[in-house]
Homo-oligomer: A and B are copies of this chain.
């Protein structure tokens, strides 16, 4: 594989954990001559102080002027506004990608908002993150060894797909390609709904009479099971709302499994309980060891 051509300028819109790490990784690996950051609020200024970006842009037009790669890394509800702001302001050869955890809706927005630039949009989702967020949590190596899922649409130019692939491989990630509906269904199951479950577990304990004692007596098991329950509430509310149908399908399946467990327990049916647990444990035990599969590094 020959080295990808160096970019003139990468514009990163949204410089929290993901965008900040993309920017820092591009800088650290010299993938672009310059990295420009834009974010409403104070994030871009902090990203500059932290050395994640080379320059702060005052608005979207400024940020993308002269950029041959535009990375959208803002929360899902902000993406349509950013896509609309890109229209007519992109350089002729600029390629646009995003990092959102859902893919169907952002592709629909891009289709309706980017106009003639739509073939240069390639939807992406790096499988990385964590319960910490904001530019302070960003780091150049976040995507090293992780998986980046790309969902190129049928009209996407091959050159655009290649540029986005080069970005992620340049940041150390492996690439998987998937249809957006398959992506959204799969990630509802392995990420979005499990976040709701972790929030629910914490929420149920927090609302109960033992909230404080539970904090003192939480062992490694509860700590791991609820780790992602410390994630950004706003971010995950947005993701779940955006992927509502797929997540609600997971919710239904999970609630039925849970009810079957509670019913077996109420009936004192030890064998039914053990059988369900064993089927579950078999699935978990055969998960590829960390690092062997599509495991993100953190």
Binding site for B on A (CB under 8 A): 127-130, 147, 176, 185-187, 189-191, 194-208, 210-211, 213-234, 236-238, 240-241, 244, 247-248, 250-251, 253-259, 261-262, 265-266, 268, 270, 273-288, 290, 293-298
List of B residues within 8 angstroms of A234 by Cβ:
274, 278
- Contact pick for A190, options B128, B129, B214, B276, CB 8 Å: B214
Tell me the complex Cα distance, A258–B204, Å: 9
**27 A–B contacts from the bound complex (CB under 8 Å):** A187-B217, A190-B219, A194-B226, A197-B225, A199-B276, A201-B254, A202-B281, A203-B257, A204-B254, A205-B283, A206-B279, A215-B283, A218-B287, A218-B293, A219-B294, A220-B297, A220-B298, A221-B228, A223-B290, A230-B281, A233-B277, A234-B274, A236-B277, A240-B265, A247-B265, A248-B265, A258-B258
**A200–B273 touching, CB < 8 Å:** no
**B276–A238 touching, CB < 8 Å:** no
Question: What's the number of copies of this chain in the assembled complex?
Answer: 2
- Contact pick for A280, options B229, B259, B295, B298, CB 8 Å: B229
Report the nearest B residue to A286, measured CB to CB. B215
Report the nearest B residue to A146, measured CB to CB. B219
List of B residues within 8 angstroms of A176 by Cβ:
217
Given A220-B296, A258-B255, CB of A194 within 8 Å of CB of B186: no
- Contact pick for A233, options B202, B274, B297, CB 8 Å: B274
* 8 A-B pairs with the lowest CB-CB distances in the bound complex, closest first: A206-B283, A233-B277, A203-B280, A202-B280, A233-B278, A237-B274, A230-B284, A199-B280
**A279–B207 touching, CB < 8 Å:** yes
